[in-house]
Amino acid sequence: MRNRLISVSTIVFGAFGVIIVNLIPLIGIAAGEWNLRAILLIYWIEAVTTVLIAATKSLFAEQGSPGLQAKMEPLHELRAKRGGFQLFHGWPPIYPRNIPFALTILGFWISVGAPPSVLYLWFGHPEFIFSVDILLSIGALVGMQVFEFMTEYIGENEYTDVSAQAIVQTPAQFSAVVLSVGILSTAGDSVTGGGLVFVIVIMKTIISVRRFYAEHAETSILAGLPDFIHQLISRVFEMSRSDEDEIEPQPEVTLPDAEVNARVSTDRRAVLLGSIWTIIFGLFNRFGVGSLVVPAVAVIIGDPLLIGVAMIIPLAVFGAQVLSFYLRYGTIEYQRRGDSIVAYDTVLDAPQWIAPVHTAEFEVKNAVSDRLLDTGTLDITAEKIDRDIQFGPVSNIETAVETLDLPVSQTDRPDRDLAVMGAATALALSFLVVPIGMYFSEKVAPLTAIGFTIAVGPFLFIPVGLLIHAGLSRI
């Protein structure tokens, strides 16, 4: 009973603190020193802080996130990764499987919240007054979130009961508030008036209190309260840390009870080379295409400095794809344990998958990287494994098969076929004749050529990429 009362009092006083901090802007409004632009500045900084902290929280979330039918998250392939690594002593581990959710949170703000904010700041010519009370309000709103993250989420081990998928929803409400304030502020204070500012602050306060209850309060804490109060709070503030459909047990693999009889490591050169094709095909999604839009617009504008800054986005996407692919295959050691083959991550110190040797099916993969480096890879199909797994790439596939005693009799790839290579090259060039010729034609303006490339380029990359891949696979 005492623990329950302490929990209830903690939640009540915590919610009271959230209310006080969020109502601070009303003091500035009452004093006549604040307007919608000042509110926008304060809420924008708080929203950015919320996004960054939510992304950081998702990395530490210990519970698993249920699988989604559509693989919409960036680097969604990392969701199959098992284990984590400790970044700071005394802190919980960071789980690579949560990185796609952290990137989703950041991508949501960059694609939805940031562009209107930048346009408003660029074209609206806002005049902000950095007074002491505004700085104190910003410090209070940001400091409250940082304090909660350090003392409660990390200090009180709240990360053990939440999944990354549940945390993704947090920034959406604040982004909506910031965007609404920004849109309203463009109308000018003379039109909107102080009354509308008051309404916005109250709505923002309600959203903050609602989020506080959803993140901190559990149904069991208020079980002793009268039923009508319990039902009212549960309905208004959604008294649950996260929905059941957003959490599943921590996804870990149990090692077989057998000693390691043999080990084979991957060929890291082949892993890095093989990542190129994954990167190319990974660009054909909304995040990949979106990363190319800003550089394309910068090229049309023609500002060299803007082009250089804009190229940071696709380079960051490219680097993330390389690291993701390397983390999937480059740190793996294949172990023979009894009648099983185990893919063990030596960096995360955790098994990734386990396949039965005698019942699994092994098939040689005709990878381009293996063709160029004379390495080898096997595709593995086994029951009770609901995802694609592979063995390799390894430096010498025959030696690896013999070392691990795998039931593979044929390790040769298809023979070189010059006819396929020639046909694929000729067809690829036929697709590229028109767009390349536009840049050398005096009758076509440079902006027209660039616009045509932006509009048609993504559709040409698919057949050209497939043809190049087909030709290299028979080199």
Write out pLDDT tens, residues 166-220: 887 666 656 666 666 555 555 554 444 556 667 767 777 777 776 676 665 544 4
What pLDDT is stored for residue 216 in this prediction?
58
Cα–Cα distance for residue pair 212/22, rounded to 1 Å: 12
Cis peptide before 393 (omega within 30 of 0): yes
3-state secondary structure 230-272: HHHHHHHHCCCCCCHHHCECCCCCCCCCCCEEEEEECCHHHHH
What pLDDT is stored for residue 343 in this prediction?
94
Q: Cβ(364)–Cβ(410) under 8 Å?
A: yes
Name every residue whose Cβ is closer than 8 Å to that of residue 216 and which is 6 or more positions away in sequence. 11, 14, 152, 241
Q: Cβ(405)–Cβ(336) under 8 Å?
A: yes
**What is the DSSP track for 343-392?**
EEETTTTEEEEEEETTTSEEEE---HHHHHHT-EEEEEE-TT--S-EEEE
Name every residue whose Cβ is closer than 8 Å to that of residue 38 and which is 6 or more positions away in sequence. 25, 28, 128, 129, 134
Write out pLDDT tens, residues 106-127: 877 776 666 666 666 555 555 5
Write out pLDDT tens, residues 262-302: 999 999 999 998 888 766 666 655 556 666 666 777 776 67
At 333, which helix (H) or strand (E)? Answer: strand 332-337
What pLDDT is stored for residue 64 in this prediction?
86
Residue in 462, 139, 94, 28 with CA at minimum distance from that of residue 282: 462
What pLDDT is stored for residue 190 in this prediction?
45
Residues above pLDDT 70, as percent of the chain: 66
Name every residue whose Cβ is closer than 8 Å to that of residue 309 and which is 6 or more positions away in sequence. 298
Virtual torsion, Cα 418, 422, 424, 426, nearest 10 deg: 180
Write out pLDDT tens, residues 338-359: 999 999 999 999 999 999 998 8
Cα–Cα distance for residue pair 80/78, rounded to 1 Å: 5
- 217: three-class secondary structure by DSSP: coil
* Model pTM score: 0.73
Task: Tokens for 369, please give them.
Answer: 């990287």
Average pLDDT over the chain reads: 75
Virtual torsion, Cα 404, 410, 413, 415, nearest 10 deg: 150
- Single-letter amino acid, residue 409: S
Cα–Cα distance for residue pair 473/475, rounded to 1 Å: 6
- Please report the sign of the dihedral spanned by the C-alpha atoms of residue 276, residue 281, residue 282, residue 288: positive
Residue in 161, 129, 143 with CA at minimum distance from that of residue 61: 161
Write out pLDDT tens, residues 86-100: 888 888 999 999 998
Cα–Cα distance for residue pair 179/40, rounded to 1 Å: 9
Compare 222 and 123 and report the one with higher pLDDT: 123
Tokens 């505004």 sit on residue = 134
In this prediction, residue 58 has a pLDDT band, given cuts at 50, 70 and 90, of very high
Compare 2 and 343 and report the one with higher pLDDT: 343
What pLDDT is stored for residue 44 in this prediction?
78
The region of weakest confidence among 26-30, 144-148, 243-247, 309-313 is 243-247
Task: Tokens for 442, please give them.
Answer: 């005096």
- 393: three-class secondary structure by DSSP: strand
Cα–Cα distance for residue pair 81/59, rounded to 1 Å: 13
**What is the DSSP track for 301-325?**
HT-HHHHHHHTHHHHHHHHHHHHHH
Residues above pLDDT 90, as percent of the chain: 16
Calculate the alpha carbon distances from 455 to 42, 292, 295, 428 in Å. 39, 12, 14, 19
What pLDDT is stored for residue 329 in this prediction?
92
Cβ neighbours around 16 below 10 Å, total: 11
Cα–Cα distance for residue pair 432/437, rounded to 1 Å: 8
pLDDT score of 67 more than 70: no
What pLDDT is stored for residue 420 in this prediction?
73
Residue in 23, 457, 338 with CA at minimum distance from that of residue 201: 23
